Amino acid sequence: MRKPGHAIDTLFTDRWSPRSFTAEAMPEATLLQMFEAARWAPSSYNYQPWRFLYALRDTPAWPTFLGLLTDVNQVWAFRASALVFVLSDSRVMRPGNDMPVDSYTHVFDSGLAYAQFALQATRMGWITHCMQGFDKERSYAELKVPHDLRINAVVAVGRQAGPEQLSEALQAREKPSDRRPLGDLVCCGTMPDSWRSPAAP
Ligand SMILES: Cc1cc2nc3c(=O)[nH]c(=O)nc-3n(C[C@H](O)[C@H](O)[C@H](O)COP(=O)(O)O)c2cc1C
């Protein structure tokens, strides 16, 4: 269904974010394979600032994790097999320093790790759906995360089910989305005026 404008590995277009999950149990070892793929992501100074907190469905931590999602995400994510909070450490120990300093790249680095996680899941026949819709304040408190780590997103992981079990509104959205043309996104040389936000001077 998805047509790339240039030849790329089908893994990139095969990955998308369905909302209909089978609610099946997932072996912890399978999830660990996805974390292993994330572990090999590049990062500034190879500092590897990403951290992952996870709960498998039907385990004691599951209700806490699910309860941190916004209602609009809970209505479909409750059928996932695992929920993963993606954190990053905002403090980095630079080579030769004895005190950590603020990291410029920790969010970027953890996004790279998530991308590798998601692609590994796709390769293994699982689906992922990343979410920013979660209660930030309660997540820091209930997951006991100090504020020098940033909670960036939550990921629902599972197996894909048919769309019938979703609401009509969500069924209508249960299909791979397209992308802007490459020409809108890349430019050889300095930034084109078309990228300026209308509000910017
Ligand atoms: C950081 C991030 C946050 C997102 N938050 C939500 C969310 O809260 N709820 C949701 O339904 N989808 C969420 N999404 C999924 C995006 O809407 C989806 O990735 C995007 O529309 C592209 O579609 P695709 O992943 O199927 O290719 C999020 C994705 C990312 C990367």
Burial class (CB in 10 A: 0-12, 13-18, 19+), 155: buried
pLDDT of 167 strictly over 80: yes
Report the pocket of ligand 1 as residue ranges, CB < 6 Å.
Answer: 16-17, 73, 130-133, 153, 176-177
Confidence of residue 93 (pLDDT cuts 50, 70, 90): confident
Over residues 109-123, the mean pLDDT reads 98
Query: With b meaning 16 or more CB within 10 Å and e meaning fewer, what string describes 80-105?
Result: bbbbbbbbbbbebeeeeeeeeeebeb
- Could you tell me what percent of the chain has a pLDDT over 90? 94
Note whether 160 and 122 are within 8 A (CB): no
User: H helices within 124-197, ranges in order?
Assistant: 136-142, 168-173
User: pTM value?
Assistant: 0.97
Which residue has the CA at smallest separation from atom 5 of ligand 1?
A: 131
User: Fold for domain 10-195?
Assistant: NADH Oxidase (3.40.109)
8 Å CB contact between 22 and 159: yes
d(C-alpha 56, C-alpha 30), whole Å: 11
Domain ranges of the chain: 10-195
Mutational pocket test of ligand 1: of 12, 130, 134, the residue with most ligand atoms within 8 Å of the beta carbon: 130
Distance CA 9, CA 24 (A): 29
* 1-26: pLDDT as tens digits: 799 999 999 999 999 999 999 999 99
